[in-house]
Amino acid sequence: MMVKKNIAQILVGIDSNTVLSGARKVKTKLITEISKQGLSDQIAVIETGSIGPVNKGVVIGIYPTGEIYGNMSEEDVAEFVQERLVKGRPYKKRLLPERLPLEVDLSTYDPRRTQYVGRIVLDNCGRINPEDIEEYIGVGGYEALGIALKEKTPQEIISLVRDSGLRGRGGAGFPTGLKWSFAAREKETPKYVICNADEGEPGTFKDRLIMEGDPHKILEGMAICGYAIGANTGYIYIRGEYQLSIQRLKKAIEDAEKLGLLGQNIFGTDFNFEVKIKIGAGSYVCGEETALLNSMEGFRGEPRLKPPYPAESGFLSKPTNVNNVETLANVAPIILKGAEWFRKFGTEDSPGTKVYTILGQINRPGLIEVPMGITLREIIYDYAGGISTGEFKMVQLGGTAGDILSAELLDLPLDYKSLQEVGHNLGSGAILIMNESVSVVDLLKCGMKFFVHESCGRCSVCRIGTRQMYESFQRLEKKIAYPDELENIEELAKGLKLTAFCPLGQSVATPVLSALKYFKAELSEGIKPHKIYKPAVRNQSRAEIIYS
């Protein structure tokens, strides 16, 4: 009985989706079958986070060869072990075209290369056991925190983050180093660091997979931020549906405290930092940072008037820094490898990488991390494997509140500056790709129904406007819309964008105005031909005064 010597680990992706598909049963069966073949001393079965592909059932990878297998079941395991591990040939029945993300050689790195394999945020996801702190430490975990505390001042940390060009990855794209400097200059204490993990945008789940696959990287980023701005307490505000993320974050916090990497006198310094978890109730508006703060304080999740901004008066009216999960996951690599290294990725205005969930009518839906500035065409045809059926029609960039774009923008670079120049935004990190079978009217109607449900109701512009918009798209769908329906929709959308109290109401305009720009002809098909009243003309008989 022979086995390939280079096969060392079977990585079983354990996330919220694969658990429901039976991933842990497959893992147990793998251990049993490998033991039966006498290979336990040569091959380890490792539980890890998301390997990448989604909607592929149970997904496993082989390290270091890089193969990925999907839709694995308990019934497949014995045959898989025999074929792949004993005979050393691919198990073609479940083999996927994707490959495990291996190391990238930056000496030959090309930021425009489509087959990019290097990752910053997801570097450990699918490679290590997220519930084992020793594995995180083994790949350089918490080294950045040690460097920050031992070798750098808080101002040097802020300057390093600012020089890296890191911008917020939650959608707004605000410069992270600048945001930290606002909280750092405040004199009032205590200060707080908050990780916004209330990922409520439909179609977006990249933060969940980051937390499930590499929770310690979030904690390390929060601790570095705390040191930089002078905070000793951090909170992770996370939606209650993310049970596996909550479980892994709690264990990560406990393990880090046991090793003295969180808590009192970290790395023998006088810096103290603790992290707590706050579980939200699933309100979409709580993704907005001030609504999140209200929810944390026990009030209804409604946005606050700004200014004052959280950096001045945030949680419990104290200086507070709020960052998205993905933003914080970039911090430790920047401290460890430097701002210049980070700027080797992406574009001049938007350095680094971006994590996306790619979904829709494509061949390879999943989680990807790509350089800033990559085009939609590259994502769709290189990473997503092209359109699964039919022809490409449109893409919604950034979730339900994102822009709806047509084929004419397939070659537009996906970075903050390039998109802003044509009036669009990068959004939260979801890319929904659709073929010609999808109705833009139906897409907008479903989005408006969601916004009607999630509007907090504080301002009438949003509370009433979203309802009116939803009713308009219902009429368009039934092809009974008024002649001036599209003009009314556009006016209403612009009104929401200008006058809604918070980003929820303002963002409703984004998909609507972009759809009117690129798909107005299709939207016009929902307008019912109405008879036009012709007023009476002198010398015209009553019988001739008609509706034509």
Q: How many whole angstroms separate alpha carbon 37 and alpha carbon 39?
A: 6
Instruction: Give the pairing of strands 233-239 and 192-197.
Output: parallel
Say if residues 26 and 56 touch (Cβ distance below 8 Å).
no
Q: How many whole angstroms separate alpha carbon 141 and alpha carbon 463?
A: 46
Say if residues 167 and 416 touch (Cβ distance below 8 Å).
yes
Predicted pLDDT of residue 109:
42
**pTM for this model (two decimals):** 0.87
Q: How many whole angstroms separate alpha carbon 427 and alpha carbon 444?
A: 17
Residue 531, judged by CB atoms within 10 A of its CB (0-12, 13-18, 19+), counts as exposed
DSSP string across 308-344: SPTTTS-GGGS-EEEEEHHHHHTHHHHHHH-HHHHTT
Say if residues 91 and 69 touch (Cβ distance below 8 Å).
yes
Residue identified by tokens 């935004």 is 425
Residue 499, judged by CB atoms within 10 A of its CB (0-12, 13-18, 19+), counts as middle
Predicted pLDDT of residue 106:
40
| Partners of 58 in the β-ladder | 72
Return per-residue pLDDT of the chain as tens, 548 residues: 334 444 568 999 988 888 888 999 999 999 999 999 988 888 889 888 888 888 889 999 888 888 899 999 999 999 999 999 888 888 999 999 888 765 444 444 444 443 334 689 998 988 889 999 999 999 999 999 999 999 999 999 999 999 999 999 987 889 999 999 999 999 999 999 999 999 888 888 899 999 999 999 999 999 999 999 999 999 999 998 899 999 999 999 999 999 999 999 999 999 999 999 999 987 888 989 999 999 999 999 899 999 999 999 999 999 999 999 999 999 999 999 999 999 999 999 999 999 999 999 999 898 889 999 999 999 999 889 999 999 999 999 988 999 999 999 999 999 999 999 999 988 888 999 999 999 999 999 999 999 999 888 888 899 999 999 999 999 999 999 999 999 999 999 999 999 999 888 888 999 999 999 999 999 999 998 766 555 555 555 544 444 44
Tokens of 199: 């990922």
Nearest CA among 163, 222, 481 for reference residue 351: 163
Say if residues 212 and 49 touch (Cβ distance below 8 Å).
yes
Residue 276, judged by CB atoms within 10 A of its CB (0-12, 13-18, 19+), counts as exposed
Say if residues 409 and 376 touch (Cβ distance below 8 Å).
yes
Q: Is 172 helix (H, G, I), strand (E, B) or coil?
A: coil
At 125, give phi and psi (nearest 5°). Answer: -70, 130
Q: What is the CATH number of domain 445-524?
A: 1.20.1440.230
Q: How many whole angstroms separate alpha carbon 454 and alpha carbon 435?
A: 28
Q: Is 392 helix (H, G, I), strand (E, B) or coil?
A: strand
Are domains 9-100 and 133-342 of this chain identical in fold?
no
Q: How many whole angstroms separate alpha carbon 217 and alpha carbon 325?
A: 10
Give the architecture-level CATH label for domain 353-435.
Answer: Roll (3.10)
Please, how many CA atoms are within 13 Å of residue 163, restricted to the half-sphere of its CB? 13
Question: What is the CATH superfamily name and number for domain 9-100?
Answer: Glutaredoxin (3.40.30.10)
Domain ranges for the chain:
9-100, 133-342, 353-435, 445-524
Predicted pLDDT of residue 323:
97
Tokens of 458: 């504080």
CB atoms closer than 10 angstroms to residue 5: 8
Q: Is 276 helix (H, G, I), strand (E, B) or coil?
A: strand
Say if residues 259 and 215 touch (Cβ distance below 8 Å).
no
Give the architecture-level CATH label for domain 133-342.
Answer: 3-Layer(aba) Sandwich (3.40)
Predicted pLDDT of residue 502:
87
